[in-house]
Structure 1
Amino acid sequence: MRSPLPLPPADETHVPGMLLIRTGDDDDVWNDVLWRMGELPGMRVAGDGSQVGPAGAADAGAASSIPRRLVVADDPAWRGATAEEVAEALEEPGIWVPDLVVLTDDRTARNAEARTLLAFGSDDGDISGFWITPRQAAMTYLVLNRPLISFVFEDFAERAPTEPEWEVEDDEELGEDHLYEPVGVTMEALSNPPRYTRPDHELPVLDHDIDLLVRTDFTDDAAWASLVDQVAHPADDLYDDDLSDHVRLVDDPAFAGATPEQVLAHIRPSDDEEGMFAEVVLIADATTLHRAGQRVLVVPMSDDVGLTFRVDADQVRSMLINLALSNQDIDDWRGEEKEEAEDA
């Protein structure tokens, strides 16, 4: 008989969030998983593990003005637990139910490069699971407040289902060769992978009621003005409407030096379900403003959430329009950068 999961009471208005459960005994593996995830906002640790994340982050959204909750369960009573056992425990009435459940697994210890985790969405009781890496789980956590997040989980389940990819013969043991790669394996292999760290100061919340271009470098106003002009008036402009119809320029020094993950964590989705938005946020960082080509950093909020890439400034408006109209998807624009990352 396992002890109850350390979950708070149900919210009057549901707070989105994630439950991370330790099921293995190896401290080094567990600590590596937590380190890769970073100091996520709204984190609280329950169990006999040491405090992880920002001090005093027990309340939902304590490190961000957007409500969210990450419950980290480090309880020996849940060693060896299965997804089915966790799903059954979540059926207990009166408790907060996370949108995403992530468990360490035998595969987490076995695969030191990706630290593969077992995950499932819990919004409808369906436990069709998928494999995911810690950094991808962390980036997905930052967008759990977005509408229709279940479609992201469905995409993950299609790309990295938990059943074996290859048939296991009677005389074989189930191993890595039989299993699908986890979602986020490219992210874990990057030389500079995303990892959430707390901002030095509270950042403003950005409403995603229109596509956003966020400036994070403030050392060259002329370069910023040049970038805005390129985005607004590309050389091969096929559109007569003004930039402001598609993009809001966020020129706020509060975002100076902000990382893509920090910007991602401070975006609140629009209440307008009919709005036409690309599932990305654009960032003008030091690389954008100080290198030839002024390539804008693109941070996806769906598909490979948080796996950034760059596009030329004069291609930004075309990308946003085609993504919003579903004429193209993010991989059409990610192009060679993803191929290079996968080959690294």
Structure 2
Amino acid sequence: MRPPFPLPPRDEAIRVPGILLLRTDDGSDGDAWNDVLERMGELPGMRPPGAGGAAEAGAAIPRRLIVAQEPGWGGSTRATPQEIAAAFDRPGAWIPDLVVLTDARTARDAEARPLLAFSGSDGQAFWITPRQTAMAYLALHRGLSFTLDGFAEEAPAEWEDGEAPDPEEEDEYEPAGLALEALDTPPRYTPPDRELPVLVQEADLLVRTDFTDDAAWASVTETVRRGRGASLDVIEDFAEYVTFVDDPAFAGATPEQVMAQVRPGADPEELISDVVLIADAATMREPGQTVRVVPLEDEVGHSFRVDAEVAGIMVVNLALGNMGLEDWREDDA
């Protein structure tokens, strides 16, 4: 008989989004498990089984990551996602948005550390890396069903008659987020020194994280407002579409810390893209005034840079659906 999952009671006041991370190997490869945890980082709302849910529910943006070691669900009798999903059918229990578990492929592939993942509601399985899991977790409160469907299409994990495939078949698809694991400086969340304010996305946001040069910041905001019209002596103004966040609380904040604080606005029909812009030290100090673009849904975690003069027209076209991130990413210098 399989052991029960260490799930807290269902939330009463507010639905807390989150992930259940399960260790389902036989316990013989602690290095792989520790490597997975290291890559995921010190995520907000991360807690051991058995802890109460009040802290997550009371946070500015509630979220929950339960980390559990349950060898009874793996080893030589590894459970399928369908069997695990069926175990969530418990009255009054919290159901995670995503279930992520280690398996034999996690230990076998030290480069990517693929994890087997599936939605807690429909059981659609796919492969994903630890860092991609962490980046999705930071934006999970926004509702990432489209993103998770994309992962399932990109790196599906299939079972036939409830049996796990052979190792060669498991490795047929590269896990979602493989590019993140290969970066020289991969994204990794670390807790800020102090709690950061919530950023409500009533319009697209440009968040200042470097406060060493006020003149440079003024130049960046003017360039974003006027766009390419600044060099063509054409009057443009993107201020209606971009809110400039000049709050010293974000001094030194990382892209991961900023993205974790962005909450959708109250009006879902508002013309807003699914990215947050950051003016960091490179924006202020390097030629070209490039701003960092941090995706919040599609391609979540895969940030890139664009010139400040195209930031305004970029977010408008993304919001309208006229262009995609790939149209701007290819210009990343």
TM-score by length of 1: 0.87
Deviation at 1:62, TM superposition (A): 8.0
* Cα distance change, pair 178–198 in 1 and its aligned pair in 2 (3 A): closer
Q: Which amino acid aligns with 1:280?
A: V
Q: In the comparison of the two structures, how many residue pairs are matched?
A: 320
In the TM superposition, 1:9-158 aligns within 5 A as 9-12=9-12, 13-24=14-25, 25=27, 26-46=29-49, 59-61=54-56, 65-79=60-74, 80-122=78-120, 125-147=121-143, 149-158=144-153
* d(CA) in 1 for partners of 2:248, 2:52: 26
Structure 1 equivalent of residue 183 of structure 2: 190
Q: Any conservation in 2 of the 1:42–1:63 contact (CA below 8 Å)?
A: no
Q: Any conservation in 1 of the 2:82–2:123 contact (CA below 8 Å)?
A: yes
Deviation at 1:63, TM superposition (A): 9.9
* d(CA) in 1 for partners of 2:166, 2:83: 24
* d(CA) in 2 for partners of 1:319, 1:198: 30
**SS class of match (1:138):** helix
Deviation at 1:81, TM superposition (A): 3.5
Q: Any conservation in 1 of the 2:9–2:94 contact (CA below 8 Å)?
A: yes
Deviation at 1:276, TM superposition (A): 1.4
Q: Any conservation in 2 of the 1:194–1:306 contact (CA below 8 Å)?
A: yes
* d(CA) in 1 for partners of 2:41, 2:52: 13
Q: Which amino acid aligns with 2:284?
A: L
Give the aligned CA root-mean-square deviation in angstroms. Answer: 2.3
Q: Any conservation in 2 of the 1:42–1:62 contact (CA below 8 Å)?
A: no
Q: Which amino acid aligns with 1:216?
A: T
Deviation at 1:250, TM superposition (A): 0.6
**SS class of match (2:19):** strand
Q: Which amino acid aligns with 2:45?
A: G
* Cα distance change, pair 108–252 in 1 and its aligned pair in 2 (3 A): same
Q: Any conservation in 2 of the 1:208–1:268 contact (CA below 8 Å)?
A: yes
Structure 1 equivalent of residue 162 of structure 2: none
* Cα distance change, pair 63–219 in 1 and its aligned pair in 2 (3 A): farther
Q: Any conservation in 1 of the 2:227–2:313 contact (CA below 8 Å)?
A: no
* d(CA) in 2 for partners of 1:30, 1:176: 22
Structure 2 equivalent of residue 8 of structure 1: 8
Deviation at 1:29, TM superposition (A): 0.6
| Pairing partner for 1:273 from 268, 287, 290 | 268
* Cα distance change, pair 228–57 in 1 and its aligned pair in 2 (3 A): farther
Percent sequence identity is 57
In the TM superposition, 1:188-227 aligns within 5 A as 188-227=181-220
Q: Which amino acid aligns with 2:31?
A: D
Deviation at 1:300, TM superposition (A): 0.3
Q: Any conservation in 1 of the 2:223–2:309 contact (CA below 8 Å)?
A: yes
Q: Which amino acid aligns with 2:198?
A: V
* d(CA) in 1 for partners of 2:268, 2:294: 21
**SS class of match (2:4):** coil
* Cα distance change, pair 173–84 in 1 and its aligned pair in 2 (3 A): closer
* Cα distance change, pair 85–258 in 1 and its aligned pair in 2 (3 A): same
* d(CA) in 2 for partners of 1:111, 1:231: 43
Q: Any conservation in 2 of the 1:41–1:62 contact (CA below 8 Å)?
A: no
The CA deviation string for residues 57-94 of structure 1, in whole angstroms up to 9 with x for no partner, is: 97553895211111111133333333222101111121
* d(CA) in 1 for partners of 2:55, 2:142: 16
* d(CA) in 2 for partners of 1:60, 1:86: 27
Q: Any conservation in 2 of the 1:15–1:60 contact (CA below 8 Å)?
A: no
Q: Any conservation in 2 of the 1:101–1:119 contact (CA below 8 Å)?
A: yes
* d(CA) in 2 for partners of 1:287, 1:96: 42
Q: Which amino acid aligns with 2:210?
A: D
Deviation at 1:163, TM superposition (A): 3.4
In the TM superposition, 1:285-300 aligns within 5 A as 285-300=280-295
Q: Which amino acid aligns with 2:192?
A: P
Q: Any conservation in 1 of the 2:16–2:56 contact (CA below 8 Å)?
A: no
* d(CA) in 2 for partners of 1:151, 1:281: 18
Structure 1 equivalent of residue 279 of structure 2: 284
* Cα distance change, pair 173–44 in 1 and its aligned pair in 2 (3 A): closer
Deviation at 1:137, TM superposition (A): 0.3
* Cα distance change, pair 30–178 in 1 and its aligned pair in 2 (3 A): closer
